[in-house]
């Protein structure tokens, strides 16, 4: 019995050591960004539980790594295109036979591309700031009425230029939030409404309080979206590949930033849209404890 017990312990110890060795090798593979690891997942003991937890962790790491690589690829592409355009038009400007009209046209294109790079850089900084948020962050009382009216005023000239009618019903509502982040929500949503609304269109903005939430609606009579667009519009760098949008440029980060800001504030955003008729974004944000 003693011999049998010793043999049983030795065999059990070997199995445990073997399983631990497999997990140890798997950690080395993960360090080399090889996430397709083989683990003793069928075991019903603590080793099996450890293996399942490890597999769950590697799956999340693989997903994060894929998103990171895709993000870098998208950023590189979005920087490369305007930089190539700038370089190309600078080369053209160096030609002695170029007419003044052509020079002015090329310089306007260069200015447009530099503005595009500037906007992309600013939005990438916001994305980085949002990604680095862990736990709580700085909040203060934000008067939505004042903030949204200021945003409207900033874009008033563009609405007048396109002949867009603006209808507002903005009640005084104060929430506890990060003022700079929340301001980007209205900036992106209102500028998008103007951008995608054709001349002589209409935009409606309402702000009200419902129980312990602030409810903000921004509706336009613009070009609208397809069902597929609505599924992906909040993804980073997503752009609608459609002839309808050929003359409308953007970074593909605006709505992703909107969703991220609302998420860190424990709020929600809903989009309703009909192709050719318009789009409505409904944002709900918790009021928060304004006494703190």
CATH code given to domain 2-65: 1.10.8
Question: Which CB contacts under 8 angstroms, 24+ apart, belong to 231-238?
Answer: 233/271, 234/258, 234/259, 234/269, 236/71, 236/74, 236/127, 237/71, 237/74, 237/78
pTM: 0.66
Second-level CATH architecture of 78-131: Orthogonal Bundle (1.10)
CATH code given to domain 140-286: 3.30.565.10
Cα–Cα dist 103/154, whole Å: 31
Sheet holding 213-220, edge to edge: 165-170, 202-210, 213-220, 278-286, 268-274
Cα–Cα dist 159/179, whole Å: 25
Whether 47 and 20 have beta carbons less than 8 Å apart is answered as yes
- What pLDDT tens digit does each residue of the chain (292 aa) get? 777 776 776 666 666 666 667 777 777 776 777 767 766 666 677 777 777 787 788 777 777 777 677 667 767 767 777 888 888 888 888 888 888 888 888 898 888 888 878 877 877 778 777 776 766 678 899 999 999 999 999 999 989 999 999 999 999 999 999 998 899 899 999 999 998 999 999 999 999 999 899 999 999 999 988 888 888 888 877 766 544 444 455 667 788 889 989 998 999 999 999 988 999 999 999 998 776 5
Domain boundaries, the chain: 2-65, 78-131, 140-286
Cα–Cα dist 191/170, whole Å: 18
Kind of pairing between the strands at 202-210 and 174-177 = unpaired
Instruction: Determine how many CB atoms are found less than 10 A away from the CB of residue 51.
Output: 23
């Amino acid at each position: 019995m003693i011999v049998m017990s010793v043999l049983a312990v030795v065999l059990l110890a070997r199995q445990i050591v073997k399983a631990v060795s497999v997990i140890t090798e798997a950690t080395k593979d993960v360090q080399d960004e090889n996430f397709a690891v083989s683990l003793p997942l069928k075991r019903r003991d603590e080793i099996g539980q450890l293996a399942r937890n490890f597999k769950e962790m590697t799956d999340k790491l693989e997903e994060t790594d894929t998103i990171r690589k895709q993000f870098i690829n998208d950023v590189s592409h979005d920087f490369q295109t305007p930089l190539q355009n700038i370089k190309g038009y600078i080369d053209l400007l160096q030609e002695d036979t170029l007419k003044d009209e052509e020079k002015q046209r090329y310089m306007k294109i260069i200015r447009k591309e530099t503005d595009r790079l500037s906007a992309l850089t600013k939005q990438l900084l916001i994305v980085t700031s949002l990604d680095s948020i862990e736990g709580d962050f700085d909040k203060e009382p934000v008067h939505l009425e004042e903030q949204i009216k200021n945003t409207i005023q900033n874009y008033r000239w563009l609405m007048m230029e396109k002949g867009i009618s603006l209808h507002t019903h903005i009640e005084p509502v104060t929430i506890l939030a990060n003022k700079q982040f929340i301001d980007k929500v209205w900036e992106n949503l209102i500028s998008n409404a103007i951008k995608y609304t054709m001349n002589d269109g209409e935009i409606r903005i309402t702000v009200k309080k419902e129980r312990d939430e602030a409810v903000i609606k921004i509706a336009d009579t613009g070009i609208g979206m397809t069902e597929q667009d609505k599924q992906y519009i909040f993804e980073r760098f997503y752009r609608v590949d459609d002839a309808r949008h050929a003359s409308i440029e953007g970074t593909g980060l605006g709505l992703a930033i909107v969703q991220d800001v609302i998420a860190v504030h424990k709020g929600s955003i809903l989009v309703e849209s009909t192709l050719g008729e318009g789009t409505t974004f409904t944002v709900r944000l918790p009021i928060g404890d304004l006494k703190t």
